[in-house]
Amino acid sequence: MISLLYVDDEPDLLDLCKLFLEKEGEFSVATVTSAKEGLQILSDGMIDAIVSDYQMPGMDGIEFLKQVRMEFKDIPFILFTGKGREEVVIEAIENGADFYLQKGGDPRAQFSELSHKIRQAFRRKKAEEELRMMKATVSNAAEGILWINENGGITFFNDTICSMLGYSREEFSHLTIRDINPRFIDNHLGNLWPGMSKRKYLTVQDTHRKKDGSLIPVEILLNYIEFGPQAYVFAFVRDITDRKRAMMN
């Protein structure tokens, strides 16, 4: 269920829009007649998206948008107004509105388009949040993470693998897997690609070369992954120096 805040100084339009959107069963709509009330609603609870008129007493839709971006960051915001002036559209987009939709015409078609824009903005924000969370998780993982293509190119890496091997991100971006493990493709990747349709997994122990030339023992979990016509190996790399030392004592 998408929790929506709709702000407009026309109570009849608020009621009509709320009726239409909630009838679809996908929205829960809170309505207020001023931006000031809208800010209070936002501070009191969870709202997934905002629809706002432009011309309202006290604080217009653009000022409301600016305030929302200052206080509530990237919550989806759709300006829904009868004012079709080009400068209003430009100002709305420049200040972070996700969409601009003009009132008028057939109500059913109008509210159908509005519901489509709300879903689109909500799903885009959710996807962006998931991507940020994934990047943060990967960047801060305890293991080094590498994406390796069939030619040994490193298409993605996290900060942990850089620290583990003593490189800056800029330095590491110029490396291939051969620079840190010349035997890796022959010894390990060759066991994965022939069975790619079976999505093989493989755990191996090997060594990686650090920037200073020294070698460290590592445990590597390899996963074969396909994205369309492209195939990659997704590798978790763990420094097992302490484990090896403990086994020798």
**Which residue in 147, 136, 143 sits closest to 160, CA to CA?**
143
Q: How many residues does the chain have?
A: 249
What's the token pair of residue 27? 């929205």
Overall fold of domain 140-248 = Beta-Lactamase (3.30.450)
pLDDT of residue 247: 79
Domain residue extents for the chain: 2-134, 140-248
What is the distance between the alpha carbons of residues 184 and 205, in angstroms, rounded to a whole number?
11
- DSSP letter string, 180-220: H-TTHIIIIIHHHGGGGGGT-EEEEEEEEE-TTS-EEEEEE
pTM assigned to the model: 0.66
The predicted-structure confidence for 92-106, as pLDDT tens digits, reads as follows 888 889 998 888 778
What is the distance between the alpha carbons of residues 119 and 100, in angstroms, rounded to a whole number?
14
> DSSP character for 176?
B
For residues 192 and 224, is the Cβ–Cβ distance under 8 A?
Answer: yes
Q: What is the CATH number of domain 2-134?
A: 3.40.50.2300
- Mean pLDDT to the nearest integer, 10-36: 90
pLDDT of residue 198: 67
Angstrom CA distances, 246 to 39, 51, 145, 249, stand at: 59, 61, 25, 5
Fold equal for 2-134 and 140-248: no
Question: Quick one: residue 119, left, alpha or beta (phi over 0 = left, psi -120 to 50 = alpha)?
Answer: alpha
Say how many C-beta atoms besides its own lie within 10 A of residue 202's C-beta: 16
Phi, psi of 168 (to 5 degrees): -80, 165
Percent residues over pLDDT 70 in the chain: 95
Mode of pairing for the β-strands spanning 99-102 and 77-81: parallel
The predicted-structure confidence for 113-170, as pLDDT tens digits, reads as follows 899 999 999 999 888 888 888 888 887 788 999 999 888 899 999 999 999 999 999 9
